[in-house]
Amino acid sequence: MTQFRNGRYVGGPFDGQRPSKLVCVGRNYKKHAEELGNEVPAEPLIFLKPPSSLNDNGAPIVYPAISTNVNYEGEIGLVISKTARNIKAANAMDYVYGYTVVNDVTARDLQRKDGQWTRGKGFDTFCCVGSEIVERAQVDEAALGVRTFVNGEMKQNGSIRDLIFPIPVILEFVSRFMTLEPGDLIATGTPEGVGPVNPGDVIRIEVAGVGTLENTVVSEAI
CA 183 from chain center: how many Å? 14
Task: Write down the pLDDT at residue 192.
Answer: 95
pLDDT at 36: 79
pLDDT for 31 equals 84
Distance CA 25, CA 169 (A): 11
Q: What does the pLDDT average to over 82-105?
A: 98
Residue 32 has pLDDT above 90, yes or no: no
The number of folded domains in the chain is 1
The predicted pLDDT at position 18 comes to: 97
* DSSP H or E run through 169: helix 167-175
User: pLDDT, tens digit, for every residue of 166-206?
Assistant: 999 999 999 999 999 999 999 999 999 999 999 999 999 99
Determine what percent of the chain is predicted with pLDDT higher than 90.
Answer: 94
Give pLDDT, residue 83: 98
Angle at 42 between CA 186 and CA 168, to 5 degrees: 35
Q: Which domain holds residue 112?
A: 2-219
pLDDT value for 72: 98
Q: What is the mean pLDDT of residues 107-117?
A: 97
CATH assignment of the domain containing 36: 3.90.850.10
Mean pLDDT of 90-111: 98
Mean of per-residue pLDDT scores for the chain:
97
113-159 pLDDT, tens digit each: 999 999 999 999 999 999 999 999 999 999 999 999 999 999 999 99
Q: CA 89 to CA 175: how far, in whole Å? A: 10
What CA–CA distances, in Å, run from 173 to 31, 39, 156, 168? 22, 19, 27, 9
Chain-centroid distance, C-alpha 123: 14
Whether 38 shows a pLDDT value over 80: the answer reads no
